[in-house]
Amino acid sequence: MHIMAERRYIFAPEERPLFPGAPYSPRLSSGDRVVYAISGAVLALASGLGNALITTNLYVMAGNMGLYVAEANLLLAVFVAFNATANLLLVRARMQFGIPACLHAILGTLILGELIALCFPSTGTTVLARAISGVASGGLTTMGLYSVFQVFPIRMRPMAVVVGFSLPQLAIPIARMVPLDRVASDHWAGVHGIELALALAAWALTTLRPLPPTDRSKVFQPLDALTITLAMAGMLLGCTGLAFGRFYWWSDAPWLGWMFAGALLLLGLVLLIEDRRAQPLLQVRWFGTADILLIAGISLVVRIALTEQTYAAVGLLALGGLTNDQMHGLFAVVLLAMIGGIALAAWLARPDRALPMMLCSALVIALGAWLDTHSTSDTRATQLMVSQSLLGLGTVLFLGPALLFGIGRVLERGPTHLVSFVVLFSTTQNLGGLAGAALLGSLQMIRARVHAEILADAMPQGDPLAAQRIAAGAGQLAPLLADPGAAATQARARLGTALQNQANILAFNDTFWVVTLLALGLAAFLALVILQQEMRRLRATPPAGGAA
């Protein structure tokens, strides 16, 4: 019989949850632990695979839906905005209503949203599904983490944190390996079908073995609704501006400025309201402390750097004509590297090792990005396996330790700071990914123009090599085009396309350099922080053989 069905079970003091809203950690059988392990994996995939499928196939998806790529980016912005702010609602909801009620509400709403998108396919229902999925993802990530907690003994809780929070990161390489024809047909019914199937599987598994109970208390206040509404509206404006900026261009579309101004106004109003409340959702003044600014800044920079893999490296391969279906081998290797990285990070995990592990993560990311700076027009997926595996390894080496570091700061302050940390960490991860794509995308476009001008200047009108290449191209086209003038024109166009492609490759190499320098700068900063902490510890340690 499952242990939670034994009404006489008395929880030991060490089995109590660390935070309100978290489950107890009772003694479990091996069979229960296996089911919880499967539940944790399914919940992790349910939290992010749908959005990963859209992110990795967005250009094709836009065409199938009759949208410009810029317009299709709204799907990403909506997901990120709702995901970043979901925990404002969900953390307190678990405290007040308990885990089963919250989980069923999340999964039920997600299932309903996907069914609507499947039965009435349109851009509007897809946007609705992305909003619901964003909120659900915030809850399912935490529920997956709680399921993983049940797999490990209490003494191995740091290991459970690393594994549970790293599992959702596997969604991106898995999404890259899903064949395009499985998700792209019939207004992308495949994406909705996969999300629906995962939600139903999660419902079945969590019904088969529910999470242990949690302590409940009345925590919601009327003013919480205003804070949550303003935060979601502000994040939606800001995320939409970030998603659209590089397509409509930052200085060419005045309405982008108004979106960012509105976002800052609404989010500033949220901070003002929370700072003046007796029992706030967000501990605003705590956000200004050194440790929290440290973890927020590091998390944001690392997430921006990691978009090298999701945007720049894939963009380079796409420039060479490769599609996702031709990158399955690459991302299979990345997936294996990430799984190995999770095992390594879990084995090393300890709160006092959090900063050194984040330092190692930054160095690994820098090495991976530096290897990509040598890309050429002949670079293909096989040449990027080592570098992209390093970036995948860097991802999982960072996330778990960063969460351990933050949880340690929450334990020092008490459970009232839990919502603040969860929202802060979630926001840096979500906004960092969106901001990273915007930054690297904008940089690549700017540098491509610069390199195109340099290449054009290096090949002036009448250049013998250019004339020779045009003549050779015209000769190849002669059997297809009877008019020599038309053949020469086509040959010149081909040369122009080749120059533009070369400019784009050089621009991608520039973005790889930026990521390399960003990661190295972060590593140097972390080394200084660790050195400062070590010096402080040595000063606080009394000398050997001191006063008796």
Delimit the domains of the chain by residue range: 17-220, 222-278, 282-534
Return the pLDDT at 524: 92
**Identity of the amino acid at 457:** D
What pLDDT is attached to residue 42? 92
497 has a pLDDT exceeding 70: no
pLDDT mean across residues, the chain? 81
Fold of 282-534: Growth Hormone; Chain: A; (1.20.1250)
The percent of residues in the chain predicted with pLDDT above 70, rounded, is 88
pLDDT band at 435 (very low <50, low <70, confident <90, very high): confident
Report residue 215 CA to chain centroid gap.
31
Give the C-alpha separation, 36 to 209, whole Å: 7
Q: For 73-83, what is the mean pLDDT?
A: 88
- Cβ atoms within 10 Å, residue 486: 13
Please indicate whether residue 175 or residue 456 has the higher confidence score (pLDDT). Answer: 175
Distance CA 497, CA 173 (A): 31
pLDDT of amino acid 461: 54
With 50 as the cut, is the pLDDT of residue 6 above it? Answer: no
| Count of beta carbons in the 10 Å neighbourhood of residue 521 | 14
List, in sequence order, the alpha helices (H) in 373-417: 385-413
230-246 per-position pLDDT tens digit: 989 999 999 999 889 88
User: Residue 90 in contact with residue 102, Cβ under 8 Å?
Assistant: yes
Say yes or no to pLDDT of 265 above 70: yes
Q: Fold identical between 17-220 and 282-534?
A: yes
How far, CA to CA in Å, does 398 sit from each of 115, 148, 330, 346?
36, 19, 22, 11
Amino acid at 126: T
89 Cβ contact partners less than 8 Å away, ≥ 6 residues apart: 135, 228
Three-state secondary-structure class, residue 280: coil
Confidence (pLDDT) at 111 = 93
254-275 and 222-248 helices cross at what angle (nearest 10)? 160
The first and second tokens of residue 175, run together, are 């999404």
Amino acid identity of 359?
Answer: L
Residue 25's alpha-carbon distances to 4, 96, 211, 453, 496, in angstroms, are: 11, 19, 9, 63, 65
Amino acid at 164: G
**Tokens coding 214:** 């949690």
Give me the CATH code for the 17-220 domain, please: 1.20.1250.20
pLDDT attached to residue 89? 83
Residue with tokens 């999964």: 107
Tokens of 195: 């999300």
- ∠ at Cα 130 (183, 170), nearest 5°? 60
Reported in sequence order, the residue ranges of 325-391 that DSSP labels E, i.e. its strands, are none
Q: pTM of the full predicted structure?
A: 0.85
H or E element that contains 118: helix 99-119
pLDDT at 460 (0 to 100): 57
In the predicted model, is pLDDT for residue 394 greater than 60?
Answer: yes
More confident residue, 105 or 417: 105
Express each pLDDT in 7-48 by its tens digit. Answer: 566 777 777 777 777 787 788 778 888 888 999 899 988 988
**Tokens linked to 477:** 């086209």
- CA 519/CA 359 separation, integer angstroms: 9
As a whole number, mean pLDDT of residues 166-189 equals: 81
Q: How far apart are CA 376 and CA 500, in angstroms?
A: 13
126/129 Cα distance (integer angstroms): 5
